[in-house]
Amino acid sequence: MKNFRTEGIKWFFKARNVAIIGASHTKGAIGYVELENFVKGKFKGNVYAINPFRKKILGIKCLKSIKDVPEKVDLAIIATPNIVVPKVLEECGQKGVKAVVIITAGFAEIGEMQLTKKLEEIIKKYPKMRVIGPNVLGILHIKRGIDSLFNPPYRSKRPKDGKISFISQSGALGAAVLDWASVRDYGISKFVSYGNAMDVDEADLLGFLADDDETNVIVAYIEGVKDGRKFISAAKYATAKKPVIVIKGGLTSEGAKSVASHTASLAGDAKVYEGVFKQCGIVQAKTLKEVFNFAKFFTNEPLLKGDRIQIITNGGGFGVLATDAVLMNKLKLAKMQEKTRKKIQKVSPRYAIIKNPCDLTGDADNERFRVAVESCLEDKNIDGIILILLFQVPTIKPSIDKMMIKLLKNREKPVAVTSAGGKYALKHKKNLEKAGISTFNSPFAAARCLAAMWEYVKYRKKII
């Protein structure tokens, strides 16, 4: 039985109009950035500026109150001082606002319980009005241009539209990850900083994103949850439909202490959370880099059907490292079929080692790689491939990018391309990434992704 609430959450992302309460005329102020994001961004709906002390800001006529908006309001962004927030939220409830984001901090996270209690009472009074916050960075929906992040775009770039949705208990961490995703050309569909989670929490968001057609993979940064049963219910619901990747803050005792003063939540015991994640089929990442390695891999690659991994390389040392990585991550080395071995041997010199790892040697050319990859994709004994491509060797022509993109276009097995090096290697990896092929700097990172995928697949097999 569901005990999480997804009702009304759609209006955060499908709003036809938005009101900025606390819109500011001061350039660089949070209320200014909030208004500017909607006025100068891609949002196509009506934008209302609420400021009783100004006539116009950014060419938008200012209204004294949310009650003065001439139409029903789908989304309101509150960026006023904390002492004013309860009054403003009450007016939003009276107006019938569908969704509210409270950017303002200064509540339970600093021990301000009187103001917190007032907000709780108002939220209970208007159950149809969904509230994200307080103490948040904001929300983002790339496709519709809904952008309430108070970091201006020139300082914190917005990523392109994609199929990964990201929820974060920490606004600052979320902003850094979004900026990082933009630089690395990762696509994001939706982002939510949910802060103190007085109404909409991580469980509600997991439940909503599980049914969201624009989201293929859910990523979450979680410091702690207030309702364990609710979280488990939502997590199981979500992982039955799509991969959920979580990075947990507060794993150490000192880290856990800082959680309460950050978002007013309970960090809890790290081992308990790890057990819950495993029970729910959640993929747990250990680092931020791993978060997006997992996210892009689950987004780009078909799911594993088994745990037998084939290594193809043009560098013997990398083949050894990949072998260690596969076995250390509790995967198996595939045993290729004899017909596969013969096909690869036919285009390879006698000194090439055609087994696992399959070492095409340092003089491997494009054709040798083509036959090896194509044959292994067809081999029923192989479930996934770690493809080590050292682009620097002179026998590999620059056209290998186009060849691999064509070869892997309709792949039914996950392929993790691994390559090390500087600008030249990076250029080729970027070409592959743009075509939706996952690339990594090390065999261990590639094996970690395959292992994470296999754990998720095994969980899915148990529940389906």
Contact 130, 199 (CB under 8 A): yes
Q: Give per-residue pLDDT as tens, 332-381.
A: 999 999 999 999 999 999 999 999 999 999 999 999 999 999 999 999 99
CB count within 10 Å of CB 331 equals: 22
H helices present in 301-396, as ranges = 316-328, 338-346, 366-378
Angle between helices 366-378 and 400-407 (to 10 degrees): 10
Task: Report the pLDDT averaged over residues 261-265.
Answer: 44
Q: What is the mean pLDDT of the chain?
A: 94
CA distance 310 to 326: 9
Residue with tokens 């908006």: 69
Percentage of the chain modeled with pLDDT above 70: 96
DSSP assignments along 30-63, one per residue: HHHHHHHHHHHSS--SEEEEE-TT-SEETTEEEE
Assign 250 a pLDDT band (cuts: 50, 70, 90): low
Angle between helices 316-328 and 443-463 (to 10 degrees): 30
User: Is residue 337 packed enough to be buried (19+ CB in 10 Å), middle (13-18) or exposed (0-12)?
Assistant: middle
CA dihedral sign, ordered 319, 320, 326, 331: positive
Assign 212 a pLDDT band (cuts: 50, 70, 90): very high
Q: Is the pLDDT of residue 253 over 70?
A: no
CA distance 284 to 295: 11
Bridge partners of 310? 385
Residue 52 token pair:
């009783």
Q: What is the pTM of this model?
A: 0.92
Pairing of strands 332-333, 308-313: parallel
Assign 411 a pLDDT band (cuts: 50, 70, 90): very high
Q: Give per-residue pLDDT as tens, 142-192.
A: 999 999 999 999 888 899 999 999 999 998 888 888 988 888 888 999 999
What's the distance, Cα to Cα, between the start and end of the chain in Å?
17
Assign 407 a pLDDT band (cuts: 50, 70, 90): very high
So what's the pLDDT on residue 1? 67
Assign 261 a pLDDT band (cuts: 50, 70, 90): very low
Q: Give per-residue pLDDT as tens, 418-447.
A: 998 899 999 999 999 999 999 999 999 999
Task: Report the pLDDT averaged over residues 106-117.
Answer: 94
Q: Which is nearest to 189 in space by CA: 158, 219, 214, 220?
A: 214
CA distance 280 to 296: 21
